[in-house]
Structure 1
Amino acid sequence: MRTIMATEEKIQSGASVILNRVDVSAPVGADIAAPIIEETARISIPIAPYPIPDVIQPDTQELSLEGGCSGGLPQCPSSEFGGINPAPADRQSTSEIPESSTATPSEARWQYHPVPSETMMPDPYPEYACRLVSGAHDLRLIAARARGKKHKHEGTNCDDWFEIASCGAWNLIAVADGAGSKQFSRVGAKTACEVAVTSLCTALNELRLEPRCWTNTTTVFARDQDDEFIQADLRLMGDSLRQAVLKAFQSVQQAAAVRRGSEHHQHALGRDIEVYDLSTTLLLMAHTVVRDGTGRPYDLAMSIAIGDGVIGALSWDGRVYLMMDADHGQFSGETEFLSARVMEPEWLKRRLRLFIGPPRRAFLVMSDGVADDYFPNNPGLARLFGDLTLNGLVGLPPLPDAETESLPALTDGASVESPTVAGARLTAEGTQHLALYSIQRYAEQLRMPLDQVLTEPALLRAGCRPDPLPGRDAAERLLTWLDAYQVRGSFDDRTLVIADRERPL
């Protein structure tokens, strides 16, 4: 059995019954499965889908496809949490690009077109969203999603969605990425996130995990012959996540069912709507803090992932723990979506991950629009968090007294310039240019390893931007950064949820 901060490959199985509607108040532990919804008669309507605006398509062949277009993470030999992928020596980081290379001819042809109105396309969704929640256990939940450059250029909707909540002792996060090839995948993404978080909040609100020796992983991760957790409270937690995913899929099926026969949706598709038109991924995480018999705290998080994106944890020393395995199809660019096939108990067992360890610096949940830009995830997630730190989007760790006197020496070096890279937001008012801070550039200027910079509070404080990004709070500033940072070949929707704390518990 692995030591602390290990992953467990098995979760509970359960018998299946048919439910014909979503009931997020169903008792936890009740076995449920995806419902069977009878198809209505299909209506064939010979009407073409709404055309996209008459715009010039950028020559994407001129754009580097390093980062932003990989379609997910490769399956690598496992280490802690399903494998942390070491950075290949021949793969160049692309989270920052020099200012001189940001205005290529291809980039200059990107145009902005607003989200279509409801008269042109049913179920229009806001172009962007952001939210800030004070979570449990000194965690702050910050979330934002931004419409991708390709959607802005084509005048189509953002397909991502997120939901965050703090319920009792629990912090809950859901992120979904609708299939880009499906016109109403945004409906599936929104529906799945909302129902999954509501289900978890109902199921876990009163659940408290009993004190025990959490470092005894043999006991903590023990399973019975049916692959159920022997520890009753952990079994209940696993059941809650599994049922949340099942209810999310049921809700997506129902969302498609209630739109069947809609002339507006038939007009958009040229046919009646089907469940696959709402195809979406779903990343779900529930977090709390547990204690041993002496009162020592530990972060405990359970997650489940259907599709690509990243769920990860970052320790105070900059180490990255990947809490999921991305799902991929047979070909490059394919991924799994919520479907009847992936709702099978055996399949869901393989997706559940349990994390236990000393309190983390942060947890990150993101769609592939961000994850691919910071590929590979080790050290990509640490670099991502460094960029967020220097741009004032997450709290700085407290400065130890012993380092206070050394801070001026770090800021006096004439060789350390402002570690900025060019950022740009494509908006209705035109392109807004911003200077963004880069942890990679900062480390290069200091001539220090990136991992060392990330673990030195004094260095991080010295390198932070002096002025905040535009926005009234941390969530709006995160949205600004998310919409503005530049990576070659990156034009997907971007969604990022951060659960961070400023100091160890």
Structure 2
Amino acid sequence: MEKSDLLNSLCLEIQNIESDLTVMQDQMNSMTSKLGGIKKVFTLIKEEDERMAKEITKDSKKVIQLKNGKANMPYKEIVDLEAFGIPKDALIDFNGIPQLSWNKDDTCFEGDLILPGDYKGTLIYQENLNSREFTRDVHILINADPRTLWVDKDPPLEGPYYKTNKDYLSKIFNNRRLLGASVRGKSHAQRGTFRDDDFSIQTWDNGWILQVVSDGAGSAIYSREGSRMACQSVVDNISTDENREKIQRIEDLIVSLNSPIESNIQRENDGIDLNRRSEICSDQSMVVENTLAKDSIDQSIISEFVADQYDIVEGALVEGDTDQTEVIKDTLTEDYISQNKIAVDLPEETIVDTEEIKRKKLSTLIHELTVQAAFSSLKKIETFAKENNKTTIKNFSSTLLFTLSKEFDFGTAVISFSIGDGAIGVVTEKEGKLLMKPDGGEYSGQTYFITSKELFQNKDIYDRSKFWLFKDRVKSLMLMTDGISDPKFGTEKNLEDSNYWMKLWGELEPVIKQDPLNKEDVFEWLEFYEVGEYDDRTLVILY
């Protein structure tokens, strides 16, 4: 088969699969929307039915049935006595239900309900002290607190890739605290399965801070190990001498761009557009094209990229046809270069570093640092899966969010990178801000994982790198898995709403700013109860 025919055939197959996936996604979105609407209607009807006291017949006797209560929740229901034939100004006495009392001033039943069950009390009334007494039976159903119905089963000690149900790390660095905490979700506790989330924190003497979180996919059998490897790989990769030197170059550029002479980078709490890689930059009459020659690109990245692409078509090659093999590899290499045109560090004697050139250098370095770190996680998981005969890397699917940050006298620099859902956000003196674009849908469902190899075969991978410089004092920089972001924000639109971030910080601040900090209080906050939200919860926060 000719190379062109092979590529055309593969291209057509890819288009067909993508088309099918688009149709399936549209159908899923439609079904999710319909389900949400049905649930809302059901809830409204149910609440309307339960909201007001009503007269029903029990055991051939008419009784006043109050709206249902919930154990461990305060209860109050205003009752229109006249609707039950009781004079408005009647003298009332109520007994028989210790958890409930009658408030004559507000004409309501109220109390702190504790024990679930079906209770019956007696309402005694008379028009005045000298008149005859009448009685009415009052019934109330107190539902059990759903939180008490959950069980907490430990996962098997002998299970592969054992992970504790909780994890915690707290340290002081440069007069700020770094806190990482993770708890197993109720759904895992109910089934006796492992916590799938993980996190890492790393600091260096030069002031840079690395925060990482990863959420193992619930559908992937070994995702708990995938999330651990993803976090550790990022730490290991960025900690290499090569990348430490790259971080220093990034810092030098940030400082240079924020000198009194070159200060255009200091836009109010803004981010630099890192995705203008193929623009032309000019300095007076000098023009520099951001195109890399083949020998200028990191050959290790090219070879890994080509190897991954080559695996896709390898099965279609004629065995032993080395010429065809090399042709395809060369084509893939050229394709990689053409897709990844980024700013390049030219020799200093060639051009004078203008602000625009410095910004492009900064963009290039940040892209290289973040994408390579993420790619190292993929390769580590891939190698581990092969060496341990785990069939496929999909068994280790996990999200990956990380930030690199440093506080300068002119502001706080934050580099962020994300694959998957969850959230990265910052709270300053003035606002809260989302620092990533989640991969999830409007409400729930689909997302990408670090094991989604196709992400690294597309130049859009660079769009996942973000750079921000905050002039206002940063109160907190937080990364969280969707076990927190989903119940606290609900939708992607809310993630972009400053008020939601400020509210979340308002909840967290009194818990994590205690002196001394109490680990159990942090865990208690992470285990907040929200109906329908039972996933693992992980938070890494700098404050």
1:254 aligns with 2:383: yes
Computed over aligned residues only, the root mean square deviation of the Cα atoms, in angstroms, reads 3.0
1:382 aligns with 2:502: yes
Partner of 2:131: none
What per-residue deviation string (whole Å, max 9, x for no partner) do you get for residues 244-275 of structure 1?
Answer: 00001111112212221xxxxxxxxxxx5421
Letter in 1 for 2:214: A
Pairwise CA distance, 1:357: 1.5
Distance 2:518 2:201 in 1: 15
Query: Is the 1:143–1:478 contact (alpha carbons within 8 Å) kept by the matching residues of 2?
Result: no
Partner of 1:480: 524
1:110 aligns with 2:144: no
What per-residue deviation string (whole Å, max 9, x for no partner) do you get for residues 124-160 of structure 1?
Answer: 1111100012234x43210100000110010000000
Pairwise CA distance, 1:305: 0.6
Pairwise CA distance, 1:204: 3.0
The 1:224/1:325 distance shift into structure 2, 3 A limit, reads closer
Query: Which of 144, 151, 168 is 2:181 aligned to?
Result: 144
Identical pairs, percent: 25
Letter in 1 for 2:481: S
Letter in 2 for 1:178: G
Pairwise CA distance, 1:332: 4.2
What per-residue deviation string (whole Å, max 9, x for no partner) do you get for residues 372-419 of structure 1?
Answer: 12113332222121111223x137xxxxxxxxxxxxxxxxxxxxxxxx
Partner of 1:322: 434
Partner of 2:406: 288
Partner of 1:263: none
1:159 aligns with 2:196: yes
What per-residue deviation string (whole Å, max 9, x for no partner) do you get for residues 188-210 of structure 1?
Answer: 10000001022123323661334
Query: Is the 1:286–1:301 contact (alpha carbons within 8 Å) kept by the matching residues of 2?
Result: yes
Pairwise CA distance, 1:276: 0.5
Which runs of structure 2 are paired with 1:94-243 in the superposition (5 Å)? 104=144, 106-118=146-158, 121-136=159-174, 138-167=175-204, 168-202=206-240, 203-204=243-244, 207=248, 208-210=251-253, 211-214=255-258, 215-217=263-265, 221=273, 223-225=276-278, 226-228=341-343, 230-231=357-358, 232-243=361-372
SS of 1:304 mapped into structure 2: strand
Pairwise CA distance, 1:98: 5.9
From the two aligned structures, give the one with the greater strand fraction: 2
What per-residue deviation string (whole Å, max 9, x for no partner) do you get for residues 72-98 of structure 1?
Answer: xxxxxxxxxxxxxxxxxxxxxxxxx96
1:368 aligns with 2:488: no
Structure with larger Rg = 2
Pairwise CA distance, 1:342: 1.2
Distance 2:343 2:540 in 1: 30
Greater relative contact order (Cα < 8 A, sep 6+): 1
The worse-fitting range, judged by mean Cα deviation, of 144-153 and 216-225 is: 216-225
Letter in 2 for 1:147: R
Letter in 1 for 2:166: Y
The 1:289/1:123 distance shift into structure 2, 3 A limit, reads same
Query: Is the 1:164–1:174 contact (alpha carbons within 8 Å) kept by the matching residues of 2?
Result: yes
The 1:346/1:199 distance shift into structure 2, 3 A limit, reads same
Aligned length: 311
What per-residue deviation string (whole Å, max 9, x for no partner) do you get for residues 327-370 of structure 1?
Answer: 03699411111121112251211211111121311101000000
Query: Is the 2:266–2:469 contact (alpha carbons within 8 Å) kept by the matching residues of 1?
Result: no
With the length of structure 1 as denominator, give the TM-score of the two structures: 0.56
Which runs of structure 2 are paired with 1:409-428 in the superposition (5 Å)? none
Partner of 2:513: 394
Letter in 2 for 1:288: K
SS of 2:224 mapped into structure 1: helix
Query: Is the 2:257–2:264 contact (alpha carbons within 8 Å) kept by the matching residues of 1?
Result: yes
Query: Is the 1:204–1:240 contact (alpha carbons within 8 Å) kept by the matching residues of 2?
Result: no
Query: Is the 2:161–2:225 contact (alpha carbons within 8 Å) kept by the matching residues of 1?
Result: yes
Pairwise CA distance, 1:183: 1.5
The 1:105/1:479 distance shift into structure 2, 3 A limit, reads closer
Letter in 2 for 1:199: N
Distance 1:246 1:336 in 2: 14
The worse-fitting range, judged by mean Cα deviation, of 367-376 and 230-239 is: 230-239
Query: Is the 1:134–1:140 contact (alpha carbons within 8 Å) kept by the matching residues of 2?
Result: yes
Letter in 2 for 1:195: S
Distance 1:492 1:280 in 2: 14
From the two aligned structures, give the one with the greater helix fraction: 2
The 1:239/1:65 distance shift into structure 2, 3 A limit, reads farther
Partner of 2:447: 335
The 1:321/1:65 distance shift into structure 2, 3 A limit, reads farther
Partner of 2:328: none
Partner of 1:404: none
With the length of structure 2 as denominator, give the TM-score of the two structures: 0.53
Distance 2:520 2:215 in 1: 21
The 1:258/1:488 distance shift into structure 2, 3 A limit, reads same
Query: Is the 2:147–2:529 contact (alpha carbons within 8 Å) kept by the matching residues of 1?
Result: no
Distance 1:213 1:243 in 2: 25
SS of 1:308 mapped into structure 2: coil
SS of 2:474 mapped into structure 1: coil
Which runs of structure 2 are paired with 1:429-468 in the superposition (5 Å)? none
